[in-house]
Chain A
Amino acid sequence: MFRYIMRRILLAIPLILGISFLVFGLMYLAPGDPVRMLAGREASPEVIADIRQEWGFDKPFVVQYFMWLGKVLRGDMGRSVISGLPVSYLIKARLPYTLKLNFWATLLGLAIAFPLGVLAAARRQTWVDYTASALALVGMSMPSFWLSLVLIIVFAVKLNWLPTSGTGTWAHYVLPAAALGFSWAAGLMRMVRTSLLEVLKEDYVRTARAKGLREKIVLVKHALRNAMIPIVTVLGTWLAYMVVGTVIVETIFAWPGLGRLLTTALLQHDFFLVQAIILMISVAVVGANLLVDVLYAVIDPRVRLG
């Protein structure tokens, strides 16, 4: 088990390096001269040359990449060309908000997807199944911005139960988390249902029934755990889908997280900030994938040998 985890971690390192290269390359291609932006409009050529040298913009691409990488590993991700504030500071300020929102959205999503998926599979081809599946299909097709707007209109404006934006109380979490979690949950619910239906056809489920176990136990103890296996393998990628929603939901609900920071930074051509955010989020995804791999080994003992 330990070796399995170590191997996964070792494999993740070149992946992260590859990602960092891609991210850096992307920003390198960006138009606009960062030096001019750093220096300001009235800067003299000498100042510009100085900045260029100080930041290493005069060096070749590969050298710049390694310089940047080195700095990042030491925690220095550069400064925002707009505000001049250290990028790491900006990110640190926003990161908790994004994490909290995603956490609750994921929790909400799981709480909806799993029970519904199990129910739909257990009562397949009854009205329960049809309703749940239809709901899931619609939910998957719904753009998150549309859902957000609808939720705001219904719950915040018409019913006035919840605030429309900002943070502060637990009430502020509800709508954004719901908007974020819902369509993600819809897709997950379908996966749960499909996987469970496949597993229920397996011989060992018949054995479990032959032992006289109650159907609930057969479902949850024997079938579900095996059904989780294919789901967990894609869970990592599936979690990454939440990113689209994150950017949009944060923008609509004025949530002070990384997503909103990203859009602002892009509009302002604030490269270092954009670079850093994309890198951070990608690393987070890699981390999430690692956790998922561990979870996979916990669920399926056949994997632990590797």
Chain B
Amino acid sequence: MQQLLSVQDLEVSFANRRVLRQVSFSLAPGETLGIVGESGSGKSVTALAIMGLLSWPGRVTGGQILWHDDDLLSLPPDAHRRLRGSAMAMIFQEPMTCLNPVYTVGQQIAEVLMLHRGMNKREAAEAAAAYLAQVGIAEPKARLRNFPHELSGGMRQRVMIAMALAGEPELLIADEPTTALDVTVQAQILDLLQRLQAETGMAMILITHDLGLVAENAARGIVMYAGEVVETGGVDELFVSPAHPYTQGLLRSLPRWGEQRDVLYSIPGTVPRNLETIPGCAFADRCPVATEACQEPQIMRQVGPAQTARCWAAKAKQPILEGGAAECQPPTK
């Protein structure tokens, strides 16, 4: 099956500082991919690079982003722009500030319709109301005339989703779509996204720091750390038998029902700021199984039928839940 999106060895720099290194993954049509990582891991930058929204001083300095076999990076800016909002759409974390305060909700949705679907004002207004209904907003026609500040956070996020849908995208990138919302609303929004995916057949990239969200909503996941992809795989494999020590650490940090601990486990150390100074694995200084071999640049290794990890020590392991640790083997040279 032809991949919808294929990112290959993407490298992004801010001024002269690399923030993304060797990022590769692919996405099939209709698939949901979760990108997991903490702040600073590079997940948002990846999304912005795909959309072509990296703003100065950030720029892509290497790699390819293939959309239906076209490299987005070698397209003229105008061609990439035409894909934005139509073939690929993105919603962001803070619905408070993501909508223009001086225009009505209806105007902002209609804008997409008039630009990408060639509708006139009247058609756009009707279609906008239909999209508002589709995202679960009551009294859509009345809501068209509301300004963003007149709506609640959850409603604003729905409006963002409607705006994204209006272009009939093949891919929706959702960057922490629920982080700024109440817990109850979070669930509603995620259900909505799943339903819309089923209805429209669009693929989705769900970016989050919340492992639970990925486990419930995505089919495959990639784990990012300090600007690199450290592990990829189906969610089942990732969460049941993670291969990379970082992923393992993340899962171990989650408190579990029935568990008895005095101290919550947390990965010691902090995320490195500057990739430039680290020749090898970015996680080495915090890794429980690090050796000198980790100073060498690491490559992605196949550790399972659909699972890869960027670590010489990685092997598909016994499930973490049973307290198994990664088996360490010296690198075969």
Contacts and interface: CB of A to CB of B under 8 A. Distances in A.
Are A and B in contact, CB atoms below 8 Å, in the complex?
A: yes
A225 B102 CA distance: 8
Interface in A276-306: 299-302
A212 interface: yes
Looking at chain A's contact residues, the main secondary structure is: helix
Nearest to B94: A203
A302 B92 contact: no
B195 interface: no
Interface in B5-54: 51, 53
Contacts of B55: 206
B97 A212 contact: no
Interface string B131-153: 00000000000000001010000
Interface in B68-122: 81-86, 89-90, 92, 94, 97-102, 111-112, 115-116
B221 interface: no
B81 A204 contact: no
A202 interface: yes
B167 interface: yes
Contact of A301 (B51, B102, B112): B102
B313 interface: no
A267 interface: no
Contacts of A210: 51, 53, 84-85, 89-90, 92
Interface residues of A, number: 19
B147 A301 contact: yes
Nearest to B77: A215
- Chain B interface residue bracket vs A: 20 to 34
A158 interface: no
Contacts of B163: 207, 211
Q: Which interface residue of A203, A204, A206, A225 has the most chain B CB atoms within 10 A? A: A204
A210 B163 CA distance: 10
Contact of A209 (B82, B84, B115): B84
B102 A212 contact: no
B196 to A, nearest CB: 17
Contact of A204 (B82, B85, B101, B115): B101
Given A206-B92, A207-B92, A299-B102, A213 B111 contact: yes
A98 interface: no
A299 B101 CA distance: 10
Interface in A182-239: 202-204, 206-214, 222, 225-226
Contacts of B112: 211-212
A206 B82 CA distance: 15
Contacts of B92: 203, 206-207, 210
A208 B86 CA distance: 13
Given A212-B83, A212-B116, A207 B99 contact: yes
A204 B98 contact: yes
B81 A214 contact: yes
A300 to B, nearest CB: 6
A301 B111 contact: no
A301 to B, nearest CB: 5
Contacts of A208: 100
Interface in A232-286: none
Q: Which interface residue of B55, B90, B100, B147 has the most chain A CB atoms within 10 A? A: B100
Given A203-B92, A206-B53, A301-B147, A211 B84 contact: yes
7 contacts: A203-B97, A210-B51, A210-B89, A212-B82, A213-B111, A300-B102, A302-B147
Interface of B: 51, 53, 55, 81-86, 89-90, 92, 94, 97-102, 111-112, 115-116, 147, 149, 160, 163, 167
Given A207-B100, A211-B84, A302-B101, 10 more contacts: A202-B97, A203-B97, A204-B99, A207-B163, A211-B163, A212-B85, A212-B115, A213-B115, A299-B102, A301-B101
The 7 closest A-B pairs by CB, nearest first: A212-B85, A212-B84, A211-B85, A203-B97, A204-B100, A203-B98, A207-B98
